[in-house]
Structure 1
Amino acid sequence: MNMHTQACCPRCQTRFTCNAGAIQACGCRQVDLTDAEARFIRTVAVQTNAAGCFCTRCLEDLKVEYRRQPQTTNHNV
């Protein structure tokens, strides 16, 4: 089984290597997310019908987007 696959970020269309088969080595593990930030990103993925993994740059961008929202609109999904 191939642990490394080529993926395309559904948000920016950047191609990257996804290591979901070896999750400890996956690039997404480099992005430290709170539970609330991860819920927000999952909500964005569902609302935009995103299929697949976001690249680390988009994960960081979405993290910033979440933090810029007024506290009362932060998603607690």
Structure 2
Amino acid sequence: MACHETVSCPRCERTFECRVGTILRCQCQDVVLTEEERYFIQQHYSGCLCAGCLREMQAIYRQPEASS
């Protein structure tokens, strides 16, 4: 049986369903991140972020001053 868990995003504290047992159906699969973007996010948060926060962190990373 697939492992689904309701978790709180460590960034915005919204709850969402983490589908680590069926990762291809998880909300985070809608956000395509590069290895560099993943590393950047991991430096700031541990655990799963909601898709909205993943997109926001990706945008922060992509800002010109963040990459310098």
TM value normalised by structure 2:
0.87
1:36-69 per-residue CA deviation (whole Å, 9 max, x = no partner) reads 1111001111xxxx4x310000000000000014
Q: Find the aligned partners of 1:3 and 1:69 in 2 and give their Cα distance.
A: 39
Give 3-state SS (helix, strand or coil) of 1:62's partner.
helix
1:8-43 per-residue CA deviation (whole Å, 9 max, x = no partner) reads 001101010000111111111110111111110011
2:17 equivalent to 1:17: yes
Q: How does 1:1-77 map to 2 (within 5 A)?
A: 1-45=1-45, 50=46, 52-70=47-65, 71-72=67-68
- Give the gaps of 5 or more residues in structure 1: 73-77
Q: Find the aligned partners of 2:58 and 2:43 in 1 and give their Cα distance.
A: 12
TM value normalised by structure 1:
0.78
- Greater length-normalized contact order (CA 8 Å, ≥ 6 residues apart): 1
Q: What's the C-alpha RMSD, in Å, of the aligned pairs? A: 1.4
Q: Hey, which bits of structure 1, 4+ residues long, moved more than 4 A? A: none
